[in-house]
């Protein structure tokens, strides 16, 4: 019996030892550089964010085909924060501390970004944020490759004023920080341009709102005061679908009351019959319909990767593409993935974008982008009807809000400040 016990113990110890040895090769696999992908794969934002996760996997695969980065292969670490904002922060911490990623590409809603911000500052890692947002932020550890309000909202309003002679404005948004801040900026901008306060109507709806009858009826009423009216929509997520359906059903034609949206792209139109919506607008920095060789190659690679001819590309995917390529270029220039070194080397990096030109990383951690205004077509694509003659530099501190008009951001040494107040000469916000 005793011998048997001893034998058993020895065997168990040996087994455990082998298992541990077996597990340790994971540590030895340091030949990969890990990249974190932090996008919701379930919950209400899954609709928009899943395609970005797929885009990141494609970009990493393409980079590995070119030989990887610094001689090592890239490895994607995908987590699902499930549209749960506190979970975003937890998952970000897990990616940086446990998985030891060199950079994270992720987030969509501004609230998710604000949740992960303290984590990235504390652990000194890098976040590339590919979605259009409301500005009023510039952090050392975050690179904003999506549009700031001056790269989307303001040019859209300018286009409507100049082209369609719009005099009355409806600002309709979902009730959270991005539409609220954007509408604050737009209201200040419109008033500064001489629009009367009674010619501006603002309203907010919850996420997923589906009964748009009253609001569309109010829009029609507001638009029948003899002045040309337009709707500026910051409605987010799938509430857009019943909104556009109701517009179509109640006969609101784009020639009469155009709707320009900031969060409706090819992906959101994929679930809609767009025939009644022809002519309604969106403002982005990229459309799938852009005709140039780089974009055509990108679309071809994407459709082959995702094995589905019907999947579309959209602006946040282009922003992810630009952000990823900028990071790769900066790491190659710096020779290391150390965040502090990359933060210094990435300013000034210029990579091709998908609209036939180049985008450069600015000292305020935003990029240069062209602004495109497109009209919805019957096949769910956008037709570009206007674009800025050149690139617009991202301006995160809006010049139209009193709290931010004196602020600038420059992360190069020696200033290294995200909210330097030019009026008081001090770093740290509105003094």
Partner 1 sequence: MIAGAMRALKIIIFVLLSCFASASLAWSGEVEIRTSIAQLATAKGFPEIEKIVKDLAALGDPLVNPALTALADGNLQVRKSDNAIFITRDGGAGVVLIDPVTGKEAGEAAKTDVVKIKVNNGLRRIIRDSLGNLTLQSPDTATRRQAAETIFKNSDASQLTALDAAIAGETDAGVKAQMELARASAILNSDRSDDEKVDAIELIGERGGREALSLLTATEAKTTGLVKDQAAAAVAGIERSLAIWATGQNVWYGISLGSVLLLAAIGLAITFGVMGVINMAHGEMVMLGAYTTFVTQDVIRDNFPGLFDWSLLIALPLAFLVAAIVGVIIERGIIRHLYGRPLETLLATWGVSLILQQGVRSIFGPTNQEVGNPSWMSGSFQIGELDITWNRLWIIVFSLIVFFVLLIALNKTPLGLQMRAVTQNRRMASAMGIRTPFVDSMTFALGSGIAGIAGVALSQIDNVSPNLGQSYIIDSFMVVVFGGVGNLWGTLVGALSLGILNKFLEPFAGAVLGKILVLVLIILFIQKRPRGLFALKGRAVEA
Helix residue spans in 125-275 (DSSP H)? 153-163, 177-192, 213-222, 240-249, 266-269
Selected binder of partner 1 within 121, 122, 175, 403 (CB under 8 A):
175
* Choices 66-74, 116-124, 202-210, 322-330 (CB under 8 A): range interacting with partner 1: 202-210
Of residues 10, 249, 336, 422, which one binds partner 1 by CB under 8 A?
Answer: 249
Q: With respect to partner 1, which residue has the nearer C-beta, 279 or 352?
A: 279
**Is residue 86 near partner 1 by the rule CB under 8 A?**
no
309 binds partner 1 (CB under 8 A): no
> Of 66-74, 273-281, 335-343, 401-409, which part binds partner 1 (CB under 8 A)?
273-281
Contacts of 110 (CB under 8 A, 6+ apart): 133, 134, 176, 177, 178
Binding window for partner 1 (CB under 8 A); candidates: 60-68, 181-189, 198-206, 390-398: 198-206
Residue closer to partner 1, measured from CB, 250 or 424: 250
Cα three-residue angle 156-161-166, rounded to 5 degrees: 115
Q: Please, which residue, 60 or 166, has the CB nearer to partner 1?
A: 166
Residue 71 in contact with partner 1, rule: CB under 8 A: no
- The angle at the Cα of 243, spanning 241 to 247, to the nearest 5 degrees, equals 120
Q: Helix, strand, coil shares of the chain as percentages rounded to 5?
A: 40, 20, 40
**Residue in 113, 164, 175, 168 with CA at minimum distance from that of residue 138:** 113
List binders of partner 1 among 205-244 (CB under 8 A).
Answer: 205-206, 208-211, 213-215, 217-218, 220-221, 223-227, 238, 241-242
Contact positions with partner 1 (CB under 8 A) in 111-170: 163-164
Residue indicated by tokens 């282009």: 318
Q: Least distance (Å) from partner 1 to the CB of residue 205?
A: 5
The answer to whether residues 143 and 396 touch, using CB atoms and an 8 Å cutoff, is no
CA–CA gap between residue 288 and residue 381 (Å, rounded): 7
Nearest to 104 by CA among 222, 93, 133: 93
Task: Give the interface with partner 1 as residue ranges (CB under 8 A).
Answer: 41-44, 46-47, 50, 163-164, 175, 203-206, 208-211, 213-215, 217-218, 220-221, 223-227, 238, 241-242, 245-246, 248-251, 254-255, 258, 267, 270-273, 276, 278-279, 281, 375, 377-378, 383, 385
């Amino acid at each position: 019996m005793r011998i048997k016990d001893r034998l058993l113990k020895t065997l168990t110890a040996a087994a455990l030892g082998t298992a541990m040895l077996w597990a340790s090769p994971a540590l030895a696999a340091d030949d990969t550089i890990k990249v974190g992908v932090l996008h919701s794969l379930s919950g209400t934002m899954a609709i928009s964010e899943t395609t970005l996760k797929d885009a990141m996997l494609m970009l990493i695969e393409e980079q590995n085909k070119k030989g990887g980065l610094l001689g090592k292969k890239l490895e994607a670490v995908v987590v699902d924060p499930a549209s749960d904002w506190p979970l975003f922060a937890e998952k970000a911490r897990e990616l940086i501390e446990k998985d030891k990623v060199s950079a994270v590409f992720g987030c969509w809603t501004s609230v998710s970004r604000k949740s992960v911000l303290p984590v990235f500052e504390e652990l000194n890692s890098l976040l590339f944020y590919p979605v259009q947002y409301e500005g009023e932020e510039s952090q050392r550890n975050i690179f904003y490759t999506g549009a700031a309000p001056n790269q989307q909202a303001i040019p859209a309003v300018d286009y409507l004023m100049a082209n369609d002679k719009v005099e009355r404005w409806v600002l309709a948004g979902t009730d959270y920080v991005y539409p609220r801040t954007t509408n604050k900026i737009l209201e200040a901008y419109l008033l500064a341009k001489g629009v009367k306060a009674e010619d501006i109507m603002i309203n907010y709806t919850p996420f997923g709102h589906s009964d748009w009858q009253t609001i569309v009826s109010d829009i029609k009423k507001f638009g029948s005061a003899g002045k040309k009216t337009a709707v500026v929509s910051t409605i987010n997520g799938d509430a857009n679908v019943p909104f556009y359906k109701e517009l179509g059903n109640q006969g609101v034609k784009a020639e009469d009351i155009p709707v320009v949206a900031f969060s409706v792209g090819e992906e959101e139109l994929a679930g809609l019959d767009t025939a009644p919506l022809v002519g309604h607008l969106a403002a982005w920095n990229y459309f799938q319909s852009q005709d140039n060789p780089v974009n055509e190659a990108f679309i071809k690679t994407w459709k082959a990767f995702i094995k589905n001819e019907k999947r579309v590309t959209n602006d946040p995917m282009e922003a992810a593409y630009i952000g990823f390529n900028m990071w790769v270029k900066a790491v190659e220039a710096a020779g290391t993935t150390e965040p502090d070194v990359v933060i210094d080397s990435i300013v000034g990096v210029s990579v091709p974008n998908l609209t036939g030109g180049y985008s450069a990383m600015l000292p305020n951690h935003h990029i240069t982008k062209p602004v495109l205004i497109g009209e919805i077509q019957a096949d769910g694509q956008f037709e570009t009807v206007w674009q800025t003659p050149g690139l617009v530099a991202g301006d995160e501190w809006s010049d139209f809000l009193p709290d931010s008009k004196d602020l600038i951001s420059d992360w190069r040494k020696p200033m290294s400040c995200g909210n330097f107040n030019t009026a008081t000469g001090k770093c740290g916000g509105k003094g």
